Amino acid sequence: MSSIPKIVILGAGYGGVLTSLRLQKELNYNEADVTLVNKHDYHYITTHLHMPAAGTDNPENARVNISKLIDEFKIDFVKSTVVQIRPQDRKVILEDGTLSYDYLIIGLGGEPETFGIPGLAENAMNIRSINSVRLIREHIEYQFARFKREPHRTDYLTFIVGGAGFTGIEFLGELADRIPELCKQFDVDPALVKIINIEAAPTALPGFDPELVEYAVQVLQKKGVTFRIGTAVKECTPDGVVVGEGEEIKSQTVIWTGGVRGNRLIEEAGIETMRGRVKVDEFLRAPGHENIYILGDNSLVFNEEGGRPYPPTAQIAMQQGVNCAHNLVASIRNQPLKSFVFHNKGAVASLGKGEAIGVAFGKKYKGRTAALLKKAIDLRYLFIIGGIPLVLRKGKFL
């Protein structure tokens, strides 16, 4: 190892940003060289992306310039795309250069899981980034414009959401709020518009509190969403989806929210993965790689009983970022590492304007109270990463 250790953090998502912020606070001058690499020069607030995707908010409100978050005197920021990770050489290959490291933190976020379903990767859209939600928003508006020119094509007005996990449910709430606005703007009869959710499991939000799930489904049905529960998407074509036993639903808009997997760069690097995610050790390191930490959607952390992995969330990614920074500082100072323990504070899902469901600190919430709770969680996040100035700049939009 060189005299000053080199720490390279890949991805400025929830895990990468929290690691960077903690390192810049805890490391002394000249204790380490820290570099943060991200595809864009902004961090995006993924937990807000269902809104700009549906067009109920502007994508600008979900992004924060990285220069506003990190202290560039303490952390080098490199705007670039990682194309390869080479653990054997301790190098990361970027689209426009190479970085060497002593410690590597991988927080590149997940990728949509398509389960090999034919046509999904080619024909469906995903809610993953600012660019992906811009595309969805524009695409939805374009379908209304197309319909005005070809009024026999009602499939232009059929919107399909594949998967009723948290992402699908939050997006449905926003889309259902946006449709009446678009109908007015384009002079379209709202009765012609269909929003269809297709969920393979026997319930929406599988595994979540059944009473709250029922409430969510009722709220969304009232707003015009049709649920096809217990029905799997089998294929996606340029003309719609094939579901169940071969039924075809015609649509020009399929939003796939069927789950996430780990980033392919990790398995391509020869790091052991399970369905694309790395089963990390107690200190969040990749097995067999003591200098590589894996955070967020790319990591698999099992609950204390060792039974089930925690779902990939911003909440766990943030806590991992804090733990990872602590362990990096400890490694550099030859101090003992701290095991990662997840403190689950619950989950809140919005259902459109003023409506939400959630479980927090062991209590159930629904309706306006849950929506306020969601807002409080979003504000807290802004405060953690950017303090009062960021809360004042962005808080009113969340």
Active site residues: 170
Number of residues located near ligand NAD, criterion CB under 6 A: 27
Q: Which two tokens stand for residue 179?
A: 């449709």
When binding is defined by CB under 6 A, the residue of 57, 170, 174, 378 that contacts ligand NAD is 170
Tell me: does residue 108 bind ligand FAD (CB under 6 A): yes
Give the C-alpha separation, 233 to 200, whole Å: 7
Comparing CB distances to ligand FAD, the nearer of 240 and 258 is 258
Comparing CB distances to ligand NAD, the nearer of 9 and 241 is 241
Tell me: does residue 75 bind ligand NAD (CB under 6 A): no
Give the C-alpha separation, 196 to 180, whole Å: 16
- Least gap, CB of 108 to ligand FAD (angstroms): 4
Tell me: does residue 75 bind ligand FAD (CB under 6 A): no
- Least gap, CB of 248 to ligand FAD (angstroms): 28
Q: Which two tokens stand for residue 261?
A: 């997997």
Tell me: does residue 313 bind ligand FAD (CB under 6 A): yes
191 Cβ neighbours under 8 A, 6+ residues apart: none
For the chain, the straight-line distance linking the first and the last C-alpha, in angstroms and rounded, comes to 44
CA 390 to chain centre: 20
Q: Which two tokens stand for residue 35?
A: 């570099």
Give the C-alpha separation, 95 to 83, whole Å: 6
In the block, residue with structure tokens 């607030």: 45
Comparing CB distances to ligand FAD, the nearer of 368 and 380 is 380
Binding mask 267-306 for ligand FAD (x = CB under 6 A): ----------------------------xxx---------
Tell me: does residue 313 bind ligand NAD (CB under 6 A): yes
Sheet holding 240-243, edge to edge: 233-237, 240-243, 247-250
Q: Which two tokens stand for residue 235?
A: 């294929």
Tell me: does residue 174 bind ligand FAD (CB under 6 A): no
Please check whether residue 76 is in contact with residue 87, taking contact to mean a CB–CB distance below 8 angstroms. no
- Least gap, CB of 170 to ligand NAD (angstroms): 5
Residue 165 interacts, among ligand NAD, ligand FAD, none and using kind-specific CB cut-offs from 5 to 8 Å, with ligand NAD
Cβ-closest position to ligand NAD: 165
- Least gap, CB of 307 to ligand FAD (angstroms): 20
CA separation (Å) from 287 to 275, 278, 284?
A: 15, 8, 9
C-alpha closest to that of 262 among 123, 107, 131, 121: 107
- Least gap, CB of 198 to ligand NAD (angstroms): 5
Q: Which two tokens stand for residue 330?
A: 């400890």
* Binding site residues, ligand FAD, CB under 6 A: 11-16, 37-40, 43, 46-47, 49-50, 81-82, 107-109, 127, 129, 167, 170, 295-297, 312-315, 317
